[in-house]
């Protein structure tokens, strides 16, 4: 598999990592792990996908959307009125031009995997007119447009708590390699000393069970456009634990103080991680473990 083929396939890689077991994705991921440039692209791509999914999940869905779509697909409501918004959306679609490399990208995917599609006979009784389909598509696409307007690229202001978590999980799933840490030290003291050159990214509080745990090292990251520090621990009781710290001004949300963090451990809906989070005066910190449940992670404090 070439780098271009791997990149094309990985553009469809879901943020929760559920595609990892698919042979095509597994081969593409192997290419990305051996190609630094592709691996860095994948980290950025997955961070953006996770953040977009987070924003999209917050979009308001009209209560009658399902019924409207099913009604159109079943052939009811033949006299659909296309309002000004529908007209603008359809017109915008008509003016869209495909990317210059679309043909080569499709051929690259076809070379990577050939999918046999069984021949289907036309069913005249279930034919859907272009007008009906556009009516249904306009309703569904409105949600995507709203998310695009809300997301609009890397945020200039602070990250929401969900975006900070989604971006970090995307990095941990796709790009984390202990061999690429900026500094390797076995004690918390050594790592905190190293991070003093970035005091606003140095955690103000460390959970008690990690203070004397064996550390792996640390790294300065960029998560969804914001700088953060990553401290890694390899523990017997909690597995691999990642402590990620942002400037407090870069994260918004109802994060609890450190003293209450043990009672606020959750399971992340977009990945296989248990998460604890807290806000100090100068920092916002998130603790991740894929090896234990939220109840077990609470015992790290």
Residues 245-298 pLDDT 10s: 999 999 988 899 999 999 988 887 655 789 999 999 899 999 999 989 999 999
What's the average model confidence in pLDDT over 70-82? 59
**Is this structure's pTM higher than 0.75?**
no
Cα–Cα distances (Å) from 72 to 53, 80, 137, 138, 234, in that order, read 27, 9, 10, 12, 55
148 pLDDT tier (thresholds 50, 70, 90) = very low
| Together in a domain, 44 and 97 | yes
Query: Whose CA is closest to 232, among 249, 220, 224, 222?
Result: 220
| Together in a domain, 171 and 295 | yes
pLDDT at 94 over 60: no
| Together in a domain, 45 and 145 | yes
For 247, phi then psi, to 5°, come to -65, 140
Asked, for residue 48, whether it belongs to a domain, the answer is: yes
| Together in a domain, 140 and 170 | no
The residues with which 183 forms a beta bridge, in sequence order, are 218
pLDDT at 20: 73
pLDDT at 251: 93
| Together in a domain, 172 and 246 | yes
Residues 8-53 pLDDT 10s: 888 887 766 777 778 888 888 888 888 888 888 888 887 777 777 7
| Together in a domain, 189 and 167 | yes
Which one has a higher pLDDT value, 132 or 181? 181
Task: Count the domains in the chain.
Answer: 2
Asked, for residue 31, whether it belongs to a domain, the answer is: yes
pLDDT at 28: 86
| Together in a domain, 168 and 286 | yes
Residue 246 in contact with residue 213, Cβ under 8 Å? no
Domain that holds residue 35: 3-117+127-151
Residue 15 in contact with residue 48, Cβ under 8 Å? no
| Together in a domain, 15 and 138 | yes
| Together in a domain, 167 and 71 | no
Asked, for residue 122, whether it belongs to a domain, the answer is: no
Query: Whose CA is closest to 276, among 161, 189, 176?
Result: 161
What's the average model confidence in pLDDT over 105-124? 53
| Together in a domain, 176 and 248 | yes
| Together in a domain, 172 and 48 | no
pLDDT at 80 over 80: no
pLDDT at 152 over 90: no
| Together in a domain, 186 and 55 | no
Residue 186 in contact with residue 214, Cβ under 8 Å? yes
Distance CA 178, CA 230 (A): 11
130 pLDDT tier (thresholds 50, 70, 90) = very low
Terminal Cα distance for the chain, rounded: 46
pLDDT at 147 over 70: no
Asked, for residue 184, whether it belongs to a domain, the answer is: yes
Last residue of a domain, one of 135, 151, 167: 151
Asked, for residue 272, whether it belongs to a domain, the answer is: yes
- Around Cβ 219, how many Cβ atoms within 10 Å? 19
């Amino acid at each position: 598999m070439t780098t271009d083929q791997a990149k094309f396939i990985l553009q469809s890689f879901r943020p929760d990592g559920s595609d990892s077991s698919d042979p095509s994705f597994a081969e593409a991921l192997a290419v990305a792990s051996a190609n630094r440039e592709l691996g860095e692209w994948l980290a950025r791509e997955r961070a953006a996908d996770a953040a977009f999914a987070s924003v999209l999940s917050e979009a308001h869905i009209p209560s009658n959307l399902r019924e409207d779509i099913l009604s159109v697909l079943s052939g009811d409501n033949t006299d659909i009125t296309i309002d000004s918004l529908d007209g603008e959306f359809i017109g915008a679609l008509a003016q869209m031009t495909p990317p210059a490399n679309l043909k080569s990208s499709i051929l690259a995917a076809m070379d990577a995997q050939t999918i046999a599609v069984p021949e289907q006979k036309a069913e005249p009784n279930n034919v859907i007119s272009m007008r009906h389909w556009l009516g249904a598509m306009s309703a569904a696409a409105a949600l995507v447009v709203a998310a695009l307007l809300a997301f609009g690229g890397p945020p200039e202001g602070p990250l929401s708590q969900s975006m900070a978590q989604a971006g970090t999980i995307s990095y941990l799933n796709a790009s984390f390699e202990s061999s690429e840490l900026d500094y390797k030290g076995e004690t918390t003291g050594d790592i905190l000393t190293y991070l003093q050159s970035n005091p606003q990214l140095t955690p103000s509080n460390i959970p008690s069970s990690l203070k004397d745990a064996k550390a792996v090292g640390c790294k300065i990251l960029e998560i969804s456009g914001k700088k953060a520090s990553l401290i890694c621990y390899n523990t017997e009781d909690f597995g691999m634990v990642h402590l990620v710290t942002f400037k407090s001004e870069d994260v918004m949300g109802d994060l609890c103080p450190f003293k209450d963090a043990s009672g606020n451990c959750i399971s992340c809906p977009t990945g296989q991680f248990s998460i604890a989070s807290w806000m100090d005066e100068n920092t916002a910190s998130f603790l991740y473990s894929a090896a234990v449940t939220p109840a077990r992670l609470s015992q790290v404090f």
